């Protein structure tokens, strides 16, 4: 995880509420949203390690991708990502080549790459702009802090998705209308509003694998319907 939850969201065992069937469905929906956001965040926070790479090549991501493909709006994006993963076996050194793709896409000069910072898209290309400052205040208000090992500003997409995953976990426990409205506003104004441009930039960069361009396309499509 890219953020540390200082406040905590777990309920004491003797205070766990008894949910109606409808409430249980709502809780499961938000838990699933949290799972997806956490997965996207993890993939976008750092290069794939050897263990994850081997797991994906063995098909560990297939059940989740097949579930996403059931949504018509995501079917094409999922297929592109699955094809990219299936082509890893054609690379001479998959881990090194994917790490090079990650660096070329996300760690290069922001003027020529799809840098993963919301401010660059929402604040007229300014690095660490008002969007980053607003995101930092959200983290403070929620009792979160960025992991010291993840030396990125608060508007890095992995941090924003990690934060959103935590918000969804809170909604699973207490889905008040106010909290739901707040999360929906955050998604529409601070996340989905720039992801398509980000994904389009990625398609214009030469990469050894189409994994990351396909991943960004899927993430952008997902938040269009989230």
pLDDT for the residue numbered 8: 35
Per-residue pLDDT band for 13 (boundaries 50, 70, 90) equals: very low
Query: Model confidence over 211-221: pLDDT tens digits?
Result: 999 999 999 99
Other Cβ atoms less than 10 A from the Cβ of 205: the count is 15
Tell whether 125 is covered by a domain.
Answer: yes
In a domain, 13, yes or no: no
Between the alpha carbon of residue 95 and those of residues 52, 91, 99, 139, 205, the distances in Å are 10, 9, 6, 33, 19
Classified as helix, coil or strand, 145 is strand
**d(C-alpha 164, C-alpha 14), whole Å:** 27
Residue 4 pLDDT level (bands cut at 50, 70, 90): low
Tell me, yes or no, whether 9 lies in a domain.
no
Ranges 3-7, 142-146, 174-178: which has the least confidence: 3-7
Chain segment 163-205, per-residue pLDDT in tens: 999 999 999 999 999 999 999 999 999 999 999 999 999 999 9
Number of structural domains found in the chain: 1
CB 166 within 8 A of CB 34: yes
Q: Over the stretch 38-96, which tens digit does the pLDDT of each residue have?
A: 999 999 999 999 999 999 999 999 999 999 999 999 999 999 999 999 999 999 999 99
What's the CA dihedral at 198, 200, 203, 204 to 10 degrees?
A: -100
CA distance 141 to 95: 38
Residue 160, domain CATH? 1.10.3480.10
Instruction: Look at residue 10 and tell me whether its pLDDT is greater than 90.
Output: no
Look at residue 180 and tell me if it is in a domain.
yes
Give Cβ neighbours of residue 23 (< 8 Å, ≥ 6 apart): 175
84: in domain: yes
Q: Examine residue 14 and state whether it is found in any structural domain, yes or no.
A: no
Domain span including residue 221:
19-225
Mean pLDDT, range 18-36, rounded to an integer: 90
């Amino acid at each position: 995880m890219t953020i540390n939850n200082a406040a905590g969201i777990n309920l004491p065992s003797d205070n766990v509420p008894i949910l109606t069937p409808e409430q249980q469905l709502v809780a499961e929906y938000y838990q699933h949203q949290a799972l997806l956001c956490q997965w996207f965040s993890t993939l976008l926070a750092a290069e794939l390690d050897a263990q994850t790479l081997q797991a994906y090549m063995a098909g560990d991501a297939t059940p989740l991708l097949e579930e996403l493909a059931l949504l018509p709006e995501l079917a094409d994006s999922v297929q592109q990502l699955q094809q990219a993963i299936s082509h890893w076996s054609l690379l001479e050194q998959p881990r090194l080549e994917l790490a090079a793709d990650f660096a070329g896409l996300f760690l290069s000069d922001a003027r020529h790459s799809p840098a993963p910072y919301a401010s660059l898209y929402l604040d007229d290309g300014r690095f660490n702009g008002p969007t980053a400052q607003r995101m930092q205040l959200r983290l403070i208000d929620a009792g979160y802090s960025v992991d010291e090992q993840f030396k990125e500003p608060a508007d890095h997409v992995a941090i924003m998705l990690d934060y959103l995953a935590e918000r969804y976990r809170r909604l699973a426990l207490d889905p008040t209308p106010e909290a739901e409205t707040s999360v929906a506003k955050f998604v529409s104004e601070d996340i989905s509003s720039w992801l398509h441009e980000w994904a389009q930039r990625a398609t214009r960069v030469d990469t050894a694998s189409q994994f990351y361009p396909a991943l960004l396309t899927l993430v952008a499509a997902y938040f269009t319907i989230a």
